[in-house]
A = this chain, B = another copy of it.
Amino acid sequence: MMPAPQSLSCQIAALADGSRTASSLAEAALDCARTFSDLNAFVALDEPIVMQQARAADARRRLGTPLSPIDGVPIAIKDNYLTLDYPTTACSNALPSEPSGQDATVVAGLRSAGAIVFGKTNMHEWAYGATNSTSSFGATRNPRDTSRITGGSSGGSAAAVAAGIVAVALGSDTGGSVRIPSAACGIYGFKPSYGRVSRHGVLPLSWSLDAPGPMAATLEDIRLLLPHLFGQDPLDPSTRWARPFEHAPPATRPRLVHLTGPGLERSEDVDGALRNTLSVADIALGESTIDHMESYFAAWEAILHCEAAAYHLQRDRVDFAAYSTVTQAHLAAGGMLDGLDLIKAQRIRGHLIETLTKGLGDWDALVLPTLPVVAPLATDDWQEFSGRRVTTQDSMTWFCWIGNLAGLPCITIPVPRAPGQLPVGMMLMGRPGRDEALLSVAQWIDDRLCKRS
């Protein structure tokens, strides 16, 4: 069987010029998924469901009435998005295994553009963790090295893209869950500005932090998907001011500020890879430390656990015994916070936004490694780097939560690595609501890097 082109743009071109059918793309993807079943990337994948959609797409092409350029392209969906045909379990034993019978708003949008809802991807239980080791379907394995974790919570989506099963996938990001596995698996992942993409039908973790986002093998593919995701949704009040995707002019030599210092440590390997990349790309670069990182981190934790507890502890007919012990403990902690703590956390959040957007002068993007370490071994519970010893869980969200707490658009792009080296991601953060400008900055940089094989 002919393998499918591994980028969305190539798949779009192949469908448009008739060199491939949606059915042949779907069959290739199903075949590839079987080949890489040991990755445990998919928790629901049904050939009849996939092929029925593909045949309908092919029929539309034959009639000359494709719904959009992505009509017929298979997309993998994280298992916390409601989907018409597949169950939605959030990889928790506490949810029923029957399909909900409805699509999340963004899934419905992709479907109405003809995209094929290919399968549901493995994730960290309830998106409440960043390793993808805790899942009712078992851990996900990293395609770059199956002894290593993908990171999470959108680990299945990252593995599916990195293994070449699909070109694009959806994840969700509350403290890095799109960016973390994208970086660990060597692909691109984009977390939009808070409120730019509808969360309706995406099981919540924390309302004021959650953002759905695309994951892809190329930057161009991210850009092709975003117009299908951005915009207002009357069913998600947070999108009240969301603008649709707008094409931004290409960036001219962007000014970046590299964030460093206490609380922002990283391994020598990762730091070297990032600095080398910044130097190769000839970027105008400042460097700045951020004071009070520990307060900001505490604010993110407080908001996360309290909002998660408010959702989970107030669910109807909830079976807490079916939650993992760690998640039970997080929810209990969230339930213990008092209102003053929560308000204080929200005010500290305001200070962070102020510091990042106004306190660092004029910048086009803030830059950090996406992760302080390469993808950890599945057997390692602790990570050590630059004098720090933290849990593998904490090492995954180490930098990423900043973007959620501040509501900034963020992207991770893989940096050049020597053959055999594990992937390292560069994270760029933009100004709130200026997702398109961030994408232009990322493109400017990506164009200057040696492309990975």
Contacts and interface: CB of A to CB of B under 8 A. Distances in A.
A382 interface: no
A243 to B, nearest CB: 12
Nearest to A343: B310
A1 interface: no
A344 interface: yes
A428 B96 CA distance: 47
A430 interface: no
Nearest to A342: B339
Interface in A324-367: 334-344, 347, 350, 353
Contacts of A302: 339
14 contacts: A309-B339, A309-B340, A310-B339, A310-B340, A310-B343, A314-B340, A334-B339, A334-B340, A335-B339, A335-B340, A338-B338, A338-B339, A339-B342, A342-B342
A285 to B, nearest CB: 27
A444 to B, nearest CB: 28
A343 B306 contact: yes
A51 to B, nearest CB: 40
Given A237-B350, A241-B241, A350-B237, A313 B335 contact: no
Interface string A194-216: 00000000000000000000000
Question: A-B pairs with the 8 shortest C-beta distances?
Answer: A310-B343, A337-B339, A339-B342, A306-B339, A338-B338, A310-B340, A339-B339, A342-B342
A314 B338 CA distance: 14
Count of chain copies = 2
Interface in A298-318: 302, 306-307, 309-310, 313-314
A106 to B, nearest CB: 21
A340 B241 contact: no
Given A313-B340, A336-B338, A337-B339, 13 more contacts: A237-B350, A241-B241, A306-B339, A306-B343, A310-B339, A310-B344, A314-B344, A334-B339, A334-B340, A335-B338, A338-B338, A339-B342, A342-B343
A422 B263 CA distance: 64
Given A237-B350, A350-B237, A307 B343 contact: yes
The secondary-structure label for the interface of chain A is helix
Interface of A: 237, 241, 302, 306-307, 309-310, 313-314, 334-344, 347, 350, 353
A350 B235 CA distance: 12
Contacts of A337: 338-339
Nearest to A350: B237
Contacts of A313: 340
A340 B237 contact: no
Contacts of A350: 237
A237 B407 CA distance: 14
Contacts of A340: 306, 309-310, 313-314, 334-335
A338 B341 CA distance: 9
Most chain B CB inside 10 Å of its own CB: which residue of A337, A339, A343, A347: A339
Contacts of A347: 310
Most chain B CB inside 10 Å of its own CB: which residue of A302, A307, A310, A347: A310
Nearest to A237: B350
Contacts of A336: 338
A237 B346 CA distance: 13
A350 B340 CA distance: 21
Contacts of A314: 340, 344
A337 B342 CA distance: 10
A159 to B, nearest CB: 34
A291 to B, nearest CB: 19
A306 B343 CA distance: 8
Contacts of A241: 241
A248 B3 CA distance: 60
